[in-house]
């Protein structure tokens, strides 16, 4: 496997993802009453944590010496599907929350609902694509590039969710 060039990315990603997951867990403990009061918030936080754990697992898998590329792809694919299940659950809860708000006369902009639902799913898709490419024996650099794109998307989504869980939820 040709991962030497990717070593620093995976080391940095594992550390940053673990730290950000910890921040989200702390944010949840600080604002737990407010988070639980909104049906979609615990699932949204869970989605971020699952996606960050995905980064940690994939990064550690990539750092295992002499691991076959297809095995890294399989690990990536399996954990990406788990993270995708969390994202699907969060999307369902977000839609249910929006329906209940609308029934109570509190309409939320459709664009916000779509953006929140889309981000949680879209951030995991590059891991699925990268995992499949590695499993089927495609070009390693292409599969890893997809995974790197997923890492960036997860960090963006997790920072947004951390902000919402720490600050926006109190407004």
**In a 10 Å sphere around its CB, with 0-12 CB exposed, 13-18 middle and 19+ buried, how is residue 55 labelled?**
buried
Residue 115 is predicted with a pLDDT of 76
- Of the CA atoms within 13 Å of residue 26, those in its CB half-sphere come to 8
Q: State pTM to two decimals.
A: 0.90
Q: Domain coordinates of the chain in residue numbers?
A: 4-170
Residues of the chain below pLDDT 70: 1, 108-110
pLDDT of residue 56: 98
């Amino acid at each position: 496997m040709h991962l030497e060039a990717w070593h620093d990315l995976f080391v940095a990603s594992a550390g940053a993802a673990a730290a950000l997951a910890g921040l989200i867990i702390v944010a949840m403990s600080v604002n737990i009453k407010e988070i639980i009061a909104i049906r979609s918030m615990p699932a949204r936080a869970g989605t971020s944590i699952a996606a960050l754990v995905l980064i940690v697992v994939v990064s550690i898998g990539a750092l295992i010496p002499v691991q076959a590329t297809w095995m890294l792809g399989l690990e990536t694919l399996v954990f990406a599907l788990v993270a995708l299940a969390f994202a699907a659950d969060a999307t369902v809860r977000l839609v249910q929350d929006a329906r209940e708000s609308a029934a109570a006369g509190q309409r939320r902009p459709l664009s916000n609902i779509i953006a929140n639902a889309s981000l949680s799913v879209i951030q995991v898709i590059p891991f699925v694509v990268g995992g499949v490419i590695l499993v089927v024996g495609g070009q390693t650099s292409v599969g890893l590039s997809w995974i790197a794109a997923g890492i960036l998307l997860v960090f963006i989504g997790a920072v947004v969710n951390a902000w919402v869980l720490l600050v926006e939820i109190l407004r």
